Structure 1
Amino acid sequence: MNNQNFNEEHFEEGNEDIRYYEKLFENNPKSLIDFSACESLISHYIQNGKLEKALDITNHAVKLYPATSELLIKKAQILMDLSRNVEAMSILDVAQKLDPSNEEIFCLRASNCVEKGKHQEAIFWLDKALELSEYPEEIYYQKGEVYQNIEDYEKAVFFYEKCLEKDPEHEDAIYDLAFCYDVIGHGEKSARLYEKFIDYQPYSHIAWYNLGIVYSKLHRFQDALDATEYAVLIKKDFSSAYFNMGNTYIEMGDYEKALPLFFSTMEYEGPSPETLCCIGECNFKIKKWENAKRFFTNALEMNNKMSEAWFGLALSYDAVKNFKEAKHALKKALALEEKNPDYWLTLAELEFKTGHLLRTIHLYQEAATLFPNYKYIWLDWSGVVYELGFCEEAAQILKVAVAQLPSDADVNYRLAIYLLSQNKIKRALRFLRKAFELNPTLPKSFKKDFIKITNHKEIVKFMEKY
């Protein structure tokens, strides 16, 4: 067979020609002299991951055609893929002298810089490549990748968009731009791009999965479920997709439907503390307290540093009025995550339930110091004091809260109630007006609260407006 007329299509896997040329090179390398045959054989080996063989053929071809920049660039690329970057850069130096206007040389230098963590230098080389390129879309894409690597998502978006202006069907740019839009909070744009990518790649389970995540963030929960179900149809053992569907059902408040999805997650990836904790949460929400305790405990057996599992266990013990174990578990959670205000609140509630009033007040005071902008601390603390019959003290607590959170309708509203209970009508009316200005849609049931406290004509007249 005459190798002079050989072209790349002869190199398909299983083709007799590929075996012929492999043997030809092994037995007598000097007989393989056609440039296109060498180039095609190199491409075949690269595509099949046989980089050492590709390098052998490249070295042979470079000896035959030493002044050919394309072969030197190919050799540099193979060396980089083999993590022999120093050699690759030396080869590129030679190639650049032969062909100083070849943009691919600068793109490879940029890739080398990225691998070494020299991202600004990578941008420098890509800018050099842009000066030379007639078709810059791929270089724009590479610049986007560099900025994405250093988490400069705004600049990454700019260059992915530039790439798509030149090539609207660039699938990698569509996919990565969708990801960046999601990160910077442009959910609708992200969803549209994933949808566009799926038009090109309808069987990409990852794209469907990511689209589901974006829909979920947009509170388009049914769309999220539909997208993630497609991911599972394409890849049945896609455990992360089952996990995300379970979380979506949790967001929707449908814990019964969430449960089997978490079990499917474990079927394909085995148990994990996170999955066991989610199963515990679902059981807690449907009031299966013993099951909840069991799964939270199982999660802690795998990772006893998981604060949310300790918290879930505490709530489960609290639900069955085992306050001693609840407090023990909650203190474990708090020791692991001291900066979680909900843990402080729940511990204060448990101390109150068990009659430890001084501990309760101390916990609320400490929590209010740590988290002064968390309104539920002030509301719960004042609520406990009010329930004990100390109306004036409850109002004093919320006056501090209003100074801290002047634009919170709930705090203003609750302070109005406490002032009314002391028959301080004018002051109560001031905070009541403020509450309704901040939130005109406050629940109608609040009107009943006021009627229970007072039938003062000014209050009744004001409430009739709502």
Structure 2
Amino acid sequence: MALDSNEYPDKSISKFESMLKTDDVYFFDAEDFEEIIHHYLNNGKISLGKKAIQIGLEQHPNSLELKLLQVEVLTFEDKYEAAERLLDEIQNIDAHNEEIYIQRANIQSKKDNHQEAVNLLLEALHISEDSFDIHSLLGMEYLFMDDYERAKRSFMRCVEFDDSDYSSLYNVVYCFEFLEDFDGAILYLNNYLERNPYCEVAWHQLGKMYYAMDLFPEALTAFDFAIISDDSFIGAYFEKGKVLEKLGRYNEAIENYETTISIEDPTSHAFLRIGKCHEKLGNYDLAKYYYYNTVHEDPLLDKGWLAITNFHYKLKDYVKALYYINKAINIDGENPLYWKKAAKIYLAMDNLDEADFAFKQAVDLGNYELDTWRNWAEVLKRIGDFESTIQVLIQGLEFYPDNAALTYKLAGVYLKNRDTKRAKEKLTEAMKLDIEKLQLFDEEFPEFSEVKWLQTLVSHIKRTST
């Protein structure tokens, strides 16, 4: 028994699902099938989408739109050869269908042939009456190719077609940011706002550009306009809070962060920022309260654990600082920042063996910051393991080859390890890098200040450098 679904087109999806559960066969026109298939594909129900395509093509074997949807599914499943064969068949029937080129471009993109994808999309542009989607796809291909200038122009075309296409607007600003053309972004957004003065998204992005350039009063004004345009725009309140922090207006910053909490469920990021504001105001109990709420809300937020650890560290309450950083390590033992902080706490507590282990963990996990090498070397020097100290400093200098402080330290450790030849080489190198930092060497290794060859070397370097 065949039934017509056109009587209630809005119920085509439920009718289709009802058909699958019964022996009845319902008739759908091709447009109904397109709607059904799009619904399933957009919701990730690929098997139902494929079933709808199969039945749709049984009822409408000549529908190019349904065949193109079949191509889309084949491409999604990485069945490129089958997809290409079907596209060849479609192209023989309708050579001027831009969707053919779009689908071929999608296949090339999935194969990482992005330039070929661009070429196909440009062909689609020549025959397309509505090129909005094609410009958007071109923009994404250019992003894959790291061609941010062309990507920017493609997304700009999308915004020209539709001022309310905020996704493309975000992408335009992203390209400006990547190109570090903040002035260009500000000019573009201001021009956009002349046409759309109540666009909260554009005001928000403009504020972020001003913030990136340390133009805090201008950023504040932009975020205020974003809030005027939409008084429930959480992002604008949050960014405004960050600007107020930069301006030292901590109580006002707290008010804005609290507004975000009143509009939506509390977030760990809002708690963290409120805690930092209270700490700067000297409201230590409140700061501690909000830091605890931060890690309670999101136990995996490393900034929360580091904030509460730093809070106790600054108060020289190393026992509590160690307690919280160890809790953090138990949650995420692969986080190098946790291990680095633990190492600094152990160093402050003069627990040198644990500090050595923690610094090693931090480096093994990818923390190569300058102070990591310097502090780790200091720990090993205090332990008296000069060979290991030398190796750590050599590693550090691979990352910071022109750092005078590390080079002076290495020269001093060579001396302590009775390697005078290498000590002279490194001391000469350090003084050529920065003679002014010689005092660091004198302060750290005062026992060598009276060594005659060292005094002679210093005098020689000073003479030749003037």
TM-score norm. by structure 1 comes to 0.66
Partner AA of 1:216 in structure 2: E
Matched, 1:338 2:299: yes
The equivalent position to 1:129 in structure 2, one of 90, 112, 127, is 90
Summarize the alignment of residues 155-304 of structure 1 with structure 2, pairs less than 5 Å apart.
159=117, 161-165=119-123, 167=125, 171=131, 172-182=133-143, 184=144, 186-188=145-147, 190-195=148-153, 198=156, 205=163, 206=165, 210-304=171-265
Aligned residues: 379
User: Which residue pairs with 2:337 in the alignment?
Assistant: 376
Partner Cα separation in structure 2 for residue 367 and residue 343 of structure 1: 9
Q: For residues 461 and 270 of structure 1, do their structure 2 counterparts lie closer, same or farther at Cα, with a shift above 3 Å needed?
A: same
Question: Cα offset for 1:343?
Answer: 1.0
Instruction: Work out whether residues 203 and 234 of structure 1, in 8 Å CA contact, stay in contact via their aligned partners in 2.
Output: no
User: Which residue pairs with 1:464 in the alignment?
Assistant: 431
User: Which residue pairs with 2:282 in the alignment?
Assistant: 321
Instruction: Work out whether residues 36 and 52 of structure 2, in 8 Å CA contact, stay in contact via their aligned partners in 1.
Output: no
Q: For residues 426 and 92 of structure 1, do their structure 2 counterparts lie closer, same or farther at Cα, with a shift above 3 Å needed?
A: closer
Instruction: Work out whether residues 76 and 88 of structure 1, in 8 Å CA contact, stay in contact via their aligned partners in 2.
Output: no
Summarize the alignment of residues 300-449 of structure 1 with structure 2, pairs less than 5 Å apart.
300-354=261-315, 356-391=317-352, 393-405=354-366, 410-421=371-382, 424-442=385-403
Partner Cα separation in structure 2 for residue 87 and residue 366 of structure 1: 52
Deviations 1:117-164 (A, max 9, x none): 99669958655313433335442225657999xxx6958985453131
Summarize the alignment of residues 41-56 of structure 1 with structure 2, pairs less than 5 Å apart.
none
- Report the 3-state secondary structure (helix = DSSP H, G, I; strand = E; otherwise coil) of the residue aligned with 2:197: coil
Residue segments in structure 2 that go unaligned for 5+ positions in a row: 1-6, 8-27, 39-50, 434-466
Q: For residues 166 and 80 of structure 1, do their structure 2 counterparts lie closer, same or farther at Cα, with a shift above 3 Å needed?
A: closer
Instruction: Work out whether residues 345 and 377 of structure 1, in 8 Å CA contact, stay in contact via their aligned partners in 2.
Output: yes
Partner Cα separation in structure 1 for residue 56 and residue 351 of structure 2: 83
Deviations 1:278-326 (A, max 9, x none): 1111111221111111111111112233111111101111111212111
Partner Cα separation in structure 2 for residue 88 and residue 400 of structure 1: 54
Question: Cα offset for 1:427?
Answer: 3.3
Partner AA of 2:292 in structure 1: K
Instruction: Work out whether residues 258 and 282 of structure 1, in 8 Å CA contact, stay in contact via their aligned partners in 2.
Output: yes
Instruction: Work out whether residues 107 and 125 of structure 1, in 8 Å CA contact, stay in contact via their aligned partners in 2.
Output: no
- Report the 3-state secondary structure (helix = DSSP H, G, I; strand = E; otherwise coil) of the residue aligned with 2:232: coil
Identity %: 15
Residue segments in structure 1 that go unaligned for 5+ positions in a row: 1-51, 53-74
Partner Cα separation in structure 1 for residue 353 and residue 35 of structure 2: 76
User: Which residue pairs with 2:45 in the alignment?
Assistant: none
Question: Cα offset for 1:95?
Answer: 7.5
CA RMSD, Structure 1 to Structure 2 (Å): 4.5
Partner Cα separation in structure 2 for residue 449 and residue 376 of structure 1: 24
User: Which residue pairs with 2:64 in the alignment?
Assistant: 106
Instruction: Work out whether residues 101 and 124 of structure 2, in 8 Å CA contact, stay in contact via their aligned partners in 1.
Output: no
Question: Cα offset for 1:269?
Answer: 1.9
Partner Cα separation in structure 1 for residue 302 and residue 153 of structure 2: 39
TM-score norm. by structure 2 comes to 0.66
Deviations 1:226-257 (A, max 9, x none): 22223222322221111112222333343332
Instruction: Work out whether residues 163 and 173 of structure 1, in 8 Å CA contact, stay in contact via their aligned partners in 2.
Output: yes
Instruction: Work out whether residues 420 and 454 of structure 1, in 8 Å CA contact, stay in contact via their aligned partners in 2.
Output: no
Partner Cα separation in structure 2 for residue 201 and residue 274 of structure 1: 22
- Report the 3-state secondary structure (helix = DSSP H, G, I; strand = E; otherwise coil) of the residue aligned with 2:202: helix
Q: For residues 80 and 94 of structure 1, do their structure 2 counterparts lie closer, same or farther at Cα, with a shift above 3 Å needed?
A: closer
Q: For residues 238 and 326 of structure 1, do their structure 2 counterparts lie closer, same or farther at Cα, with a shift above 3 Å needed?
A: same
